[in-house]
Structure 1
Amino acid sequence: MQTSYGFDKRKLLSCLSHGAIFLSTTFLSVGIPIAIYFVSDDPVVRNNAKESINFHFNVWFWATVIGVPIGILSFITFGLGGILFFPVVALGFAIHWGLTIIALLHCIGNADEPFRYPFIFRVF
């Protein structure tokens, strides 16, 4: 027996899971895909939510790995470190937002297949 899931509901919940990363300055943003993961019974939505949770963890990990040394260097050099490493920070934001936009476009265009972020560590 094949179970059918609402196509529009699948698109909405998958996009909401991936789009929550735009609220990543708050730790509450990871709560959206976690809630969707536990509430939804659709396997595609659950896989998208799980992938979004993993992406949140990766964004926070790399922001810490890159941001803490830059912050220390900026403190020591009275802000010069932040100016010198601005291209690295800008590239990080471009990758972060770019991958999220690609995930959203994938969920809108191909809602029957979960999106997988490239080059991330999957903890969950």
Structure 2
Amino acid sequence: MQVTYNSDKRKLLSSLCHGAIFFSTALFSIGVPIVINLMSDDPVVKSNAKESINFHFNVWFWATLIGIPIGILSWITFGIGGLLFFPVIAFGFALHWGLTIWALLHCFSQPDVPFRYPFIFRLF
């Protein structure tokens, strides 16, 4: 017996998983894909939720790894270090938002295929 899944529900839940990263400054944003992963029985939605959780960890890891030294340098140099590294910070946000928008577009255009972020480490 083959099970079919609601395509609109799949699009919505997968998009919610990936779109939650836009609220990544609030730690509860990772709760959206975790709850969806636990509640859904759709394999594509579960895969998208796990990928979103991994992307959250990657964003937080790289923001910490890059942000702490830039913050210390900026504090030591009275803000000049922060200005010098503004392009690095801007690139990080552009990459973070660009990959998320790519994931959302993929979820809407190909709802039957789970999205995979390039160049991230996966814990789940």
User: What letter is aligned with 1:2?
Assistant: Q
Paired amino acid for 1:89: I
Return the alpha-carbon distance in structure 2 between the equivalents of residues 69 and 123 of structure 1.
Answer: 25
- Structure 1 residue 84 and structure 2 residue 84: aligned? yes
Moved over 2 A (4+): none
Equivalent residue letter for 2:8: D
The answer for the alignment partner of 1:19 in structure 2 is 19
Normalising by structure 1, report the TM-score. 0.99
Please give the residue correspondences for 1:87-106 in structure 2 after superposition, counting only pairs within 5 Å.
87-106=87-106
In the TM superposition, what is the alpha-carbon distance from 1:17 to its structure 2 partner? 0.2
Q: What's the TM-score, normalizing by structure 2?
A: 0.99
2:118 maps to 118
Q: Distance in 2 between matches of 1:12 and 1:95?
A: 23
Match of residue 3 from structure 1: 3
Query: In 2, Cα distance between the equivalents of 1:54 and 1:77?
Result: 34
- 1:49 lines up with 2:49 in the alignment: yes
Indicate the SS of the match to 1:4.
Answer: coil
SS state at 1:12 partner:
helix
CA deviation string 1:78-119 (max 9, x = no partner): 001100000000000000000000000000000000000000
SS, match of residue 32 in structure 1: helix
Instruction: State the Cα deviation string for residues 55-91 of structure 1 (Å, max 9, x = none).
Output: 0000000000000000000010000110000000000
Matched letter for residue 78 of structure 1: F
SS class of match (2:88): helix
Structure 1 gap ranges (5+): none
The percent of aligned pairs where both chains have the same amino acid is: 73
* Structure 2 unmatched ranges of 5 or more: none
